[in-house]
Amino acid sequence: MKIVARLWLALVPAALCVCAVGAETPGFKVVKKYPVPGDGGFDYIVFDGSSNRLYVSHGTKVNILDADSGKVLGKIVNTPGVHGIAVVPKLHRGFTTNGGNATVSVFDTETFKTIKTISVPKDPDFIFYDPQSNRVFVCHGDGAAITAIDPEKEAVIGKIDLGGGAEAAVLNGKGTGYVNLEESAMLVSFDPKGLTVKQKWPITGCKTPTGLAMDAANSRLFIGCRSKVLAVMDANSGKVITTLPIGERVDAVAFDPDSKLIFASNGGGTVSVIRQKNADEYQSVGDIQTQQSAKTMDFDPKTKRLFLPAAEMEPSAPGASGQNTRPKPKPGTLMVLVVEKQ
For residue range 243-294, list pLDDT tens digits in order.
999 999 999 999 999 999 999 999 999 999 999 999 999 999 999 999 999 9
Q: Which pTM value belongs to this model? A: 0.91
Contacts of 51 (CB under 8 A, 6+ apart): 87, 89, 109
pLDDT score, position 342? 86
Helix H or strand E encompassing 20? helix 14-21
pLDDT for res 302: 97
User: In Å, how far are 46, 101, 192, 342 from 43, measured between CA atoms?
Assistant: 10, 16, 25, 27
Type of residue at 159: K
Single-letter residue type at 171: L
Ordered by start, the domain boundaries in the chain are 1-35+204-315+328-342
Beta-carbon contacts of 12 under 8 Å, excluding residues fewer than 6 positions away, are none
- 266 vs 322: CA distance, rounded Å: 27
- Residue 173 DSSP code: S
H or E element that contains 28: strand 28-35
Cβ-contact 54, 67 below 8 angstroms: yes
Domain 1-35+204-315+328-342, CATH number (from 3.40.50.620, 1.10.1200.10, 2.130.10.10, 3.90.1200.10): 2.130.10.10
- Report CA-CA distances (Å) from 159 to 136, 145, 150, 169, 232: 11, 7, 12, 15, 28
Low-confidence ranges of the chain (pLDDT < 50): 1-24
- Express each pLDDT in 303-321 by its tens digit: 999 999 999 998 876 666 6
DSSP label of 313: B
Cβ atoms of residues 258 and 218 within 8 Å: no
To the nearest 10°, report the CA torsion of 102, 108, 111, 114: -30
Taking all residues of the chain, what is their mean pLDDT, rounded to a whole number? 91
Torsion sign across C-alpha atoms 196, 296, 313, 183: positive
User: Could you read off the pLDDT of 75-86 as tens digits, one per residue?
Assistant: 999 999 999 999
Phi and psi at 254, nearest 5°, equal -135, 150
Share of the chain above pLDDT 70, in %: 90
Residue 292: how many other CB atoms lie within 10 Å: 16
* Other CB atoms within 10 Å distance of the CB of residue 205: 14
